[in-house]
């Protein structure tokens, strides 16, 4: 059975999403959505459209691995999602994924938006998750 996964790079303004498969172990950036009152409905539509079985939420920590205010924000956001959407949810460390995404986009020498960083960071979160899963 194909197990499709969406990963979320949660920010207070935007949320980057990436789509991947546990079967193929491949991930790709999908979309960046506004973190607003419509987010949950838009997320549900994507879950239905792509037949997603699992959400992987990036969990930011500081360089020492300790929780930060943003860590708690992401945990609270994920718990709110869990209460609204009936889907399995797991956390994945997202250490420096946004920094890595920004650096990669700068190397292309093309114009990019902050939303491009968010969805690429979500892709890195999902790739890390897929490497660690069986």
Structure confidence at residue 106 (pLDDT): 83
Structure confidence at residue 134 (pLDDT): 44
* Nearest-angstrom CA–CA distance, 2 and 41: 24
Structure confidence at residue 1 (pLDDT): 53
Instruction: Give pLDDT < 70 ranges for the chain.
Output: 1-2, 96, 133-134
Domain of 104, CATH number, reads: 3.30.420.140
Structure confidence at residue 26 (pLDDT): 94
Domain that holds residue 116: 4-132
**Per-residue pLDDT tens over the stretch 66-99:** 888 889 999 999 999 999 999 999 999 887 677 7
Q: Mapping DSSP to helix (H, G, I), strand (E, B) and coil, where does residue 43 land?
A: helix
Predicted model pTM? 0.88
**What is the side-by-side strand order in the sheet with 52-59?**
26-34, 14-21, 4-10, 52-59, 88-93
Number of domains observed in the structure of the chain: 1
């Amino acid at each position: 059975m194909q197990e499709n996964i969406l990963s979320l790079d949660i920010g207070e303004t935007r949320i980057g999403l990436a789509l991947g498969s546990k079967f193929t172990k491949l991930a790709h950036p999908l979309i960046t959505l506004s973190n607003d009152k419509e987010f949950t409905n838009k997320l549900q539509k994507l879950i239905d459209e792509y037949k997603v079985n699992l959400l992987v939420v990036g969990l930011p920590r500081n360089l020492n691995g300790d929780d930060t205010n943003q860590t708690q924000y992401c945990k609270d956001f994920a718990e709110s999602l869990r209460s609204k959407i009936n889907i399995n949810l797991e956390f994945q460390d997202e250490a420096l994924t946004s920094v890595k995404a920004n650096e990669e986009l700068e190397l292309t020498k093309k114009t990019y938006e902050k939303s491009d960083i968010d969805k690429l960071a979500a892709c890195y979160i999902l790739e890390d998750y897929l490497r660690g899963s069986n």
